[in-house]
Amino acid sequence: NAGVMQNPRHLVRRRGQEARLRCSPMKGHSHVYWYRQLPEEGLKFMVYLQKENIIDESGMPKERFSAEFPKEGPSILRIQQVVRGDSAAYFCASSPDRLLAVTDTQYFGPGTRLTVL
Partner 1 sequence: ILNVEQSPQSLHVQEGDSTNFTCSFPSSNFYALHWYRWETAKSPEALFVMTLNGDEKKKGRISATLNTKEGYSYLYIKGSQPEDSATYLCAYQRIYNQGGKLIFGQGTELSVKP
**Residues lying near partner 1 in the complex (CB under 8 A):** 3-4, 31, 33, 35, 41-45, 48, 55-56, 58-59, 91, 95, 98, 103-111
* Residue 22 CA: distances (Å) to CA of 19, 40, 92, 93, 99: 10, 24, 9, 12, 26
**Closest CB to partner 1 among residues 12, 83:** 12
Q: How far is the CB of 55 from partner 1 (least distance, A)?
A: 6
**Closest CB to partner 1 among residues 65, 91:** 91
**Closest CB to partner 1 among residues 15, 44:** 44
Would strands 10-13 and 112-116 be described as parallel, antiparallel, or unpaired? Answer: parallel
Would strands 29-37 and 43-50 be described as parallel, antiparallel, or unpaired? Answer: antiparallel
CB of 62 closer than 8 Å to CB of 79? no
**Closest CB to partner 1 among residues 80, 105:** 105
> In angstroms, how far is CA 103 from the centroid of its own chain?
21
